[in-house]
Amino acid sequence: MPLKNRGLLKWLPAHFMPKHRAILKKLEIEQNYQYKPLIDEYEMLEYENRIHYAMEFASIVKVKVWREGFFHDFKGRVNRLDGFSKKIYIETDHGYIQKIVFDEIVRVEAEE
């Protein structure tokens, strides 16, 4: 009779407590946390100009965003620009629309 290996199932009881899992998840988030870089007014003005240029000529724009300690990259066309609430709406290649607040923007690159 062959030995029946339970695989990862045998290690599952080590994580049986919900508090233990929550602490491990929190620890992982804290280890990977990144601080938001400081952006001065001139850089933000340059980013706004690139966004306006990309919107006017319907070119693709790459936006790097900092949200809750992590960086996210979005690539697509600027669908709408809301100056009142300081948001831009980017339509990605998959057809989704992402809302991005100006304060979250870290870098903007416009493709020709």
Q: What CA–CA distance (Å, rounded) separates 35 from 33?
A: 7
**Is 95 part of a structural domain of the chain?**
yes
**Is 23 part of a structural domain of the chain?**
no
pLDDT in tens, 39-94: 999 999 999 999 999 999 989 999 999 998 899 999 999 999 888 998 999 998 88
Residue closest to 66 by CA, chosen among 26, 31, 35, 88: 35
**Is 5 part of a structural domain of the chain?**
no
CATH of the domain at 62: 2.30.30.520
pTM score of the predicted model: 0.72
**Is 15 part of a structural domain of the chain?**
no
**Is 58 part of a structural domain of the chain?**
yes
pLDDT in tens, 16-37: 677 888 888 888 888 888 898 9
SS3 44: helix
Total domains present in the chain: 1
pLDDT in tens, 56-67: 998 999 999 999
- Residue partners of 24: CB distance under 8 A and separation at least 6: 15
Q: What is the CA radius of gyration of the chain?
A: 21
**Is 22 part of a structural domain of the chain?**
no
Q: What pLDDT does residue 10 have?
A: 59
In the block, residue with structure tokens 């870290």: 106
Range of 68's domain? Answer: 41-110
Q: What pLDDT does residue 3 have?
A: 58
Q: What CA–CA distance (Å, rounded) separates 112 from 93?
A: 16
